[in-house]
């Protein structure tokens, strides 16, 4: 087994500054590669370890890519270091909690295919996620080998935002995968996100030499079969780190207003020129957005996608805030009842 240095693992001054000038002799920093129910597998300068979670840290508090400290010989996670970046999404269904996707990621590789999976509204969501989590977005268009004109998908993707760079590849071809290596230099971390069946694990296998399971998509609608079920962090041939994730059915945003602003910077700029500051861009006089649509400079679909994301973000942010208040209220209520009962007994 090759011995990895802290720098190889992605360590930087940001993490060192949290524990003083030098790592204490008794402590070992380690990077989380897999999160299990009661333990994490990590990589460190002393090799691979499996660390048990102490009672005050639950699996949901940890993400792949996290840096933890362990007291040498204890076999336990001692503490989690503050994250430089964190990717999270709103939990599925009616849940009002956040789910961690990965931590300390430099590049968000937004994977979609040159087929029916390609969807501007979904890409904009991922771009907003990249922006609000301060990771660099890279749109990776797979299955270029099956498309008549992959360049067209690339152009459509890059038109979505001033932040977007798009690359089209055949994920099964090692030469094509080389195009991703500038984002995976020694110690750099990228996360693969996107729908099921777009080729995330195929990319991981090609760049790491691993052989994790991949599976064909349904012929009729290009949908995948949710082959990958857990997140993992693995080292690439080029010395970078790649997070593979299970395909997401949907990405629900909350507390991402900043991210949405950046992805739709052009629309925000236009809206600043509307006569009314609360213009809804419908039929108000002096609306700069409608004017841009009328002369064909702006696509009305893009306006609707922007408004929809803003509404959703506002709603989800409010529900999360309300739930926090509600939870606080509930705790107080339970305590009050317990006290009340005691008093009755006295
Ligand atoms: N022709 C072609 N097939 C590809 C390409 N990328 C992936 N595939 C195939 O697409 C299918 C799905 O790939 P996976 O790598 O399992 O997709 P995934 O994104 O990991 O899917 P989940 O784990 O379900 O989220 C497999 O049969 C791959 O061989 C590509 O660029 N070209
Ligand atoms: Mg997979
Ligand atoms: Zn307007």
Domain assignment present for residue 250? The answer is: no
Domain assignment present for residue 1? The answer is: no
Residue 163 sits in the same domain as residue 267: no
CB burial of residue 341 (10 Å; 0-12, 13-18, 19+):
exposed
To test the ligand 1 pocket, which listed residue (143, 174, 192, 202) has its Cβ within 8 A of the most ligand atoms?
202
Residue 119 sits in the same domain as residue 221: yes
Domain assignment present for residue 344? The answer is: no
Hey, how many other C-beta atoms are within 10 angstroms of the C-beta on 329?
10
To test the ligand 1 pocket, which listed residue (116, 147, 171) has its Cβ within 8 A of the most ligand atoms?
171
* 3-state SS assignment for residue 43: strand
> Which residues does residue 48 pair with via DSSP β-bridges, in sequence order?
43
> 203 CA to middle of ligand 2, Å?
9
| CATH number for the domain harbouring residue 278 | 1.10.40.50
pLDDT at 318: 78
Gap between the Cα atoms of 220 and 215, Å rounded? 15
Residue 74 sits in the same domain as residue 90: no
Among residues 28, 55, 80, which one ends one of the domains? 80
Q: In 3D, which of 47, 49, 46, 15 has the Cα closest to residue 34?
A: 49
- In the chain, where does DSSP find H-type helix? 13-16, 120-132, 150-158, 174-177, 200-208, 257-263, 265-271, 288-294, 300-345
pLDDT per residue, tens digit, the chain (346 aa), is: 678 999 999 999 999 999 887 888 999 999 999 999 999 999 999 999 999 999 999 999 999 999 999 999 999 999 999 999 999 987 766 666 788 999 999 999 999 999 999 999 999 999 999 999 999 999 999 999 999 999 999 999 999 988 889 999 999 999 999 999 999 999 999 999 999 999 999 999 999 999 999 999 888 888 999 999 999 999 999 999 999 999 998 888 777 888 999 999 999 999 999 999 999 999 999 999 999 999 999 999 999 999 999 998 888 887 777 777 766 655 444 443 434 444 444 4
Q: 196: domain range?
A: 86-244
pTM of the model: 0.90
Gap between the Cα atoms of 183 and 164, Å rounded? 14
pLDDT at 328: 61
Nearest CA to ligand 1 atom 1: 143
Nearest CA to ligand 1 atom 30: 143
Domain assignment present for residue 273? The answer is: yes
Q: What are phi and psi of 244, to 5 degrees?
A: -100, 140
pLDDT at 1: 62
Residue 33 sits in the same domain as residue 90: no
Ligand 1 atom closest to residue 228's alpha carbon, by position in its atom list: 23
Residue 100 sits in the same domain as residue 220: yes
| CATH number for the domain harbouring residue 202 | 3.40.50.300
Residue 92 sits in the same domain as residue 67: no
Residue 183 sits in the same domain as residue 144: yes
Residue 201 sits in the same domain as residue 277: no
The number of the ligand nearest the C-alpha atom of 197 reads 1
Domain assignment present for residue 38? The answer is: yes
To test the ligand 1 pocket, which listed residue (198, 217, 232) has its Cβ within 8 A of the most ligand atoms?
198
Q: How far apart are the first and last CA of the chain?
A: 67
* 3-state SS assignment for residue 66: coil
Domain assignment present for residue 339? The answer is: no
Residues with CB under 5 A from ligand 3 (ion): 274, 279, 281, 287, 289
> 88 CA to middle of ligand 1, Å?
24
Q: Report how far Cα 107 is from the mean position of its chain's Cα atoms.
A: 9
Please tell me the total number of residues recorded for the chain in this structure. 346
Rg (CA), the chain: 23
> 7 CA to middle of ligand 2, Å?
28
Which residues does ligand 1 sit against, CB inside 6 Å? 142-143, 145-146, 170-172, 196-202, 214-217, 224-228, 246-247
pLDDT at 8: 98
Q: In 3D, which of 28, 45, 164 has the Cα closest to residue 109?
A: 164
Residue 55 sits in the same domain as residue 110: no
Query: What is the total count of domains within the chain?
Result: 3
| CATH number for the domain harbouring residue 29 | 2.40.50.140
Gap between the Cα atoms of 298 and 14, Å rounded? 42
């Amino acid at each position: 087994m090759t011995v990895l240095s802290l720098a190889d693992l992605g360590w930087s001054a940001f993490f060192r500054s949290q524990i003083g000038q030098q790592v204490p002799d008794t402590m070992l920093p380690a990077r989380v590669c897999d999160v299990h129910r009661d333990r994490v597998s990590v990589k460190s300068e002393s090799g691979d370890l499996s660390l048990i979670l102490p009672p005050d840290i639950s699996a949901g508090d940890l993400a792949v890519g996290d840096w933890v400290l362990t007291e040498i010989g204890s076999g336990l996670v001692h503490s989690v270091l503050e994250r430089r970046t964190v990717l999270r999404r709103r939990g599925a269904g009616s849940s009002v909690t956040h789910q961690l996707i990965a931590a300390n990621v430099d590049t968000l590789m937004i994977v979609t295919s040159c087929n029916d999976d390609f969807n501007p509204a979904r890409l904009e969501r991922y771009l907003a996620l990249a922006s609000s989590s301060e990771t660099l977005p890279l749109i990776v268009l797979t299955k270029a080998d099956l498309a008549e004109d992959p360049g067209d998908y690339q152009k459509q993707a890059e038109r979505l935002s001033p932040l977007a760079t798009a690359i089209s590849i055949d994920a099964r071809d090692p030469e094509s995968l080389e195009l991703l290596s500038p984002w995976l230099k020694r110690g750099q971390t990228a996360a693969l996100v996107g729908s099921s069946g777009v080729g995330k694990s195929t990319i991981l296998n090609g760049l790491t030499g691993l052989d994790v399971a991949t599976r064909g998509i349904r012929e009729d609608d290009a949908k995948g079969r949710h082959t990958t079920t857990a997140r993992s962090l693995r080292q690439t041939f080029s010395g970078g780190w790649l997070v593979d994730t299970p395909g997401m059915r949907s990405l629900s945003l909350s507390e991402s207003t900043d991210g949405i602003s950046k992805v739709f910077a052009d629309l925000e700029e236009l809206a600043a020129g509307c006569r009314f500051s609360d213009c809804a861009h419908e039929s108000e006089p002096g609306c700069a957005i409608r004017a841009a649509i009328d002369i064909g400079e702006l696509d009305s679909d893009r306006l609707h996608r922007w408004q929809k994301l803003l509404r959703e973000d506002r709603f989800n942010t409010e529900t999360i805030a309300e739930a926090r208040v509600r939870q606080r209220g509930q705790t107080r209520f339970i305590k009050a009842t317990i006290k009340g009962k005691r008093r009755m007994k006295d």
